[in-house]
Structure 1
């Protein structure tokens, strides 16, 4: 007997479990109301569509009719797609950290009907392996505790929920980055931020490149921080960045078609974990050299791009060969032989925030390397997301698939990453409408216009966005977008808001860099005097455009516009562009919007920029 309710789900991950002999429910108040009525615990299993070990757990346990019957009788079983509901995933991860430091997906949690976690783990095998119990043993132990030691269950659940609630309350009320319990936000000093590179140098794997041992991740936010310090004159950071990018580019972590896998299971970057995520590849675009960036852009274009221009979330690690699902086999074939087999399936979910990250990466790489197709890809994604996921300049949809739009509420990741991506695209194309949408998104983000998940809100376990090592934070991206808007509009309250958003994370990052590197990059930009560079030219090949882009560094905003575009920016309230429309073939170097006399050649502009950097 089954009452699986995932058949109409939007999420591809949930649909993968629609045929399980498990009475799966989607996350929501209804599942917890059923648990209260039946007085049973709630199993919440979290994963995503291209997760290899999620597939393994599904084949071994969730396809087992006996386990399905056990779950039907004694639990309410809930499936969560961590891509669709990152707020739920963040809250459950925070609770799971009380039980294990080996966090990841699949995430297996057990909750009271009030929504409080009382036990958690990750993957559990069908039979015991060493000290790891079998999944059936876990279910039996949880049920035994629920039936015979309910007071212990309630006490544990309440203590964990209280700790999360206290942490979230402290984060909401503490002055961000303040010293001594009060005062304005305190960003780390520039020298403190640059000194973090010494810590990273000590953590470098000097044999194989990258940082730490196995597993080895590309860690795009960390590499972008190194890129920021390198652009700020840090030679050590530049060398670290180059060695890491070389390792990623020349080892098994990069596929023959240019796409980058999620991580390598061995220290020497071999034996990849074969799923390929949009966010890893998009993040690397912002720092990669020309050849590497071109390969990644080709992968996005040829594999993850939909006909409307938006990008889907990922490509699976497994392909079907001779009727069996096999991890990595398709990728291990030469490119010219892959066409005879079906490729690994796609996670066809279009996520607003991840597309914002791709727009940003493509815009940065396209401008840096003079690659018009990358910028066209960024525009295609931007137009698709603005048309399909936004309403009147506000994010209305977090996730969509060809089957419809998800009911999951947009998060700060969607608002911040999209705002930052649209601003980068506006600055390199001169198209002001992208900046106008970004300005609306930043206003929403700073106003905190996000709907808390009702189950988490009722349980008091809303954690907010948690620091990550793989994906640029939406909070940090919102800060970056706000700082850029401050340079464009002259509204210094936006710069103060940016500092407030990243101060705590940056202060923590000076001691614990992994997970906070993106905040350190924005803090470095805020620690430098604001510099603005505006190039006004009708000639798309004007060498002044390249000269300006070569001056990209933390704290510098670069706008490339035609005279007509400059007029549109000024009319839209971006004061930096006021009065620039009547001077075709001119470039302005400004500090806090106080500008020097215009330069009229690339050499003259480079000289001004060099003088200003001393």
Structure 2
């Protein structure tokens, strides 16, 4: 029976014709496991994952594997990008079985979904010391049938251990908020991880850690020039490396080796969105323009951006990992491009909106503001429900049943606010405020996966940040923007509330919590607003657009746009709606300097 064909996930659909009797994530699979008294096999991956493709071809397409696994297990296939909370829950359990984690993540669990073994890629036959998939499955089936009490005891212990770890993690906040000196120390710790020989952070595998680099750039805005230079230097090392596609723009997911060779060639929307923000902030216009071009020419689909482009394509009739990307422009034009994972993920499109806003402000080519406006309009029409909640994922107009995560709410809220400020669209900013308010009223445990919750497995959201910000950081940054625009201190207090449980972790591991450190940097500095109302195109507007300082909200608008912001409830524009004569306003912690009408006076106020 084919249960995956109707899924909105291309990853699940790619497994729909295999001999394994796959179930999608849901209650039906666990009910069948209980009815047949069988353990559960949960395989988690994503469409552009190379080793997921390999295991699909080698193992899950094997009729002998299908015959055995269908008799002994109930098999569930999960797209980690559709269900990030499920992925996070099983990664937390998989740590008990080894520290080499990744995807595909293969979990063997009891009928309640608690793991009693987990591994990543398993070959079709024994290789060196690595057992085959069938060997592992047979061993675990025997354990279920003959050592059931031991299996039950281990799953109970694991469930308790992971639950306690989640509670400890939630209690590791620090009482005193860090000042700029402590954040500068975190920046130094991050800078110490720079690879001075080959570039990047760490020694390999090399991921482009955009949130961490954004934190270094934010430190530059507070006078830490060394941090800014390090951030720019690391970004400069990525651009000419094999991580970047010089033909179509965009960056690959990561490089296996320290010198950036042997990249994994999937091009992910979320990675590239974070990198676009960093390159736009650093003023690397050509690299940023390449990412905008990649968004427009490769990822843009039904109105928003697809999730990724695959690493594999067909070359000479055979699957080839990276062959398309390794070809030069003239040869590439004759090849069939890798497939898109064309599902639309709210969180990742929200990251793209923020990135396109930065690119628009920075003068990046390719009309990033226009592209962002089109995407934002589509998301508002299709991914926000009538009750104000958001949709996690859609494809071809159909919505996934997966619950939206904090990253979906935070990414969309921040993206709409930043794009609205960059393009003078008060309606976008107001809609971003609505999304944030929805979470603010209902709490950060707003939605939980019902299958996990029913089994006591939904312990905590995924709070890690490596190449992408987490939901709490995104919500905090959106709250900081709204505090400035509305004058409501409650938004700033909410931002502190969101980041406080993770401060200790962020300060201890700056490479993995870059976005949260950026939010802390903004909260630890003096809040400042810079507004220019200008019905022409004066020097004051140009000065404001080029001004970057951490903790500062910059808005330029004409008279009509300023009135729209005021009518939308953004009190920052009170008595500041006339642009007949270009006028600049600089306010610091609620205290505003006298209106400036000359470049000289405006420059002096900006320097104060």
Tell me if TM exceeds 0.5. yes
- What SS does the corresponding residue of 1:286 show, helix, strand or coil? helix
Q: Deviation digits for residues 179-230 of structure 1, max 9, x if unmatched?
A: 3xxxxxx322211111112212221111000111121110111111111112
- 1:106 matched to 2:104? The reply is yes
- For residue 511 of structure 1, the aligned residue among 508, 513, 520 is 508
Q: Deviation digits for residues 380-428 of structure 1, max 9, x if unmatched?
A: 1111111111124724321111162111111111100010111101111
- 1:365 matched to 2:356? The reply is no
- For residue 582 of structure 1, the aligned residue among 578, 582, 586 is 578
My pick for the range that moved more, 564-573 or 362-371, is: 362-371
- 1:482 matched to 2:479? The reply is yes
Aligned to 1:87: 85
Distance 2:504 2:606 in 1: 30
- 1:168 shift after superposition: 3.7
- 1:504 shift after superposition: 2.7
- What SS does the corresponding residue of 1:441 show, helix, strand or coil? helix
Distance 2:366 2:267 in 1: 25
Kept after mapping to 2: 8 A contact 1:219/1:469: yes
My pick for the range that moved more, 598-607 or 359-368, is: 598-607
Aligned to 2:210: 220
- 1:177 shift after superposition: 3.1
My pick for the range that moved more, 127-136 or 516-525, is: 127-136
TM-score (ref. length: structure 1): 0.95
- 1:110 shift after superposition: 1.3
Q: 1:118-517 counterparts in 2 under 5 A?
A: 118-169=116-167, 174=171, 177-179=173-175, 186-256=176-246, 257-288=248-279, 289-308=284-303, 310-369=304-363, 371=365, 373-392=367-386, 394-402=388-396, 404-446=398-440, 447-448=442-443, 450-462=446-458, 463-517=460-514
Distance 1:36 1:322 in 2: 47
Aligned to 2:517: 520
Judging changes above 3 Å, is the alpha-carbon distance between structure 1 residues 337 and 370 closer, same or farther for their aligned structure 2 residues? closer
Judging changes above 3 Å, is the alpha-carbon distance between structure 1 residues 534 and 516 closer, same or farther for their aligned structure 2 residues? same
- 1:326 shift after superposition: 0.6
My pick for the range that moved more, 348-357 or 163-172, is: 163-172
Distance 1:74 1:307 in 2: 42
Aligned to 2:75: 77
TM-score (ref. length: structure 2): 0.96
Judging changes above 3 Å, is the alpha-carbon distance between structure 1 residues 601 and 125 closer, same or farther for their aligned structure 2 residues? farther
- What SS does the corresponding residue of 1:97 show, helix, strand or coil? helix
List runs of 5+ in structure 1 lacking aligned partners.
Answer: 180-185
Kept after mapping to 1: 8 A contact 2:97/2:117: yes
Q: Deviation digits for residues 495-543 of structure 1, max 9, x if unmatched?
A: 111011112323212111122111111001000011011111123x433
Kept after mapping to 2: 8 A contact 1:425/1:434: yes
- 1:329 shift after superposition: 0.5
Distance 1:476 1:346 in 2: 29
Aligned to 1:182: none
- For residue 46 of structure 1, the aligned residue among 44, 47, 63 is 44
Kept after mapping to 1: 8 A contact 2:293/2:366: no
- 1:374 shift after superposition: 0.8
Kept after mapping to 2: 8 A contact 1:465/1:475: no
Q: Deviation digits for residues 431-455 of structure 1, max 9, x if unmatched?
A: 1111111111111222226321122
Distance 1:393 1:332 in 2: 47
My pick for the range that moved more, 467-476 or 83-92, is: 467-476
- For residue 64 of structure 2, the aligned residue among 47, 63, 66 is 66
- What SS does the corresponding residue of 1:203 show, helix, strand or coil? coil
Q: Deviation digits for residues 558-614 of structure 1, max 9, x if unmatched?
A: 112111111111122111111111244111000133211111233332221012xxx
My pick for the range that moved more, 106-115 or 51-60, is: 106-115
Q: Deviation digits for residues 29-87 of structure 1, max 9, x if unmatched?
A: 11001001111111110011111010001011000000001111010000000110111
Judging changes above 3 Å, is the alpha-carbon distance between structure 1 residues 494 and 323 closer, same or farther for their aligned structure 2 residues? same
Q: What is the alpha-carbon root mean square deviation over aligned residues?
A: 1.6
Kept after mapping to 2: 8 A contact 1:395/1:414: no
Distance 1:372 1:601 in 2: 32
List runs of 5+ in structure 2 lacking aligned partners.
Answer: none
Aligned to 2:566: 570
Aligned to 1:32: 30
Distance 1:393 1:557 in 2: 29
My pick for the range that moved more, 161-170 or 28-37, is: 161-170
Kept after mapping to 2: 8 A contact 1:197/1:236: no
Distance 1:370 1:130 in 2: 51
